[in-house]
Structure 1
Amino acid sequence: MTSDGELIALVAAGSTEAFDLLYSTHVATVGRYAWGVSSSRQSAQELVQDTFLTLWHNAGRITLMTDSALPWLLATCKNHSRNLGRAESRHSRLISTLTQRRRLAESMAEEPDAPMRWIHDAIDRLPRHEAMVVHLCLVEDMAYKDAATVLGLSDTAVAKRLQRARTKLRKDLANEDA
Structure 2
Amino acid sequence: MLDQRRAEVEAMIARVALGDRQAFESLYEATSGKLHAVCLSVLKDRAAAEETLQDVFIQIWNHADRYAANGLSPMTWLITIARNRAIDRLRARQGRPVQAPAEVAASVASPTPGPEEETIRRQQRRLLESCLEQIGETQANALRTVYLEGASYADLAERSGTPINTVRSWLRRGLLRLKDCIGQ
- Give TM-score, length-normalised by structure 2: 0.46
Larger Rg: 2
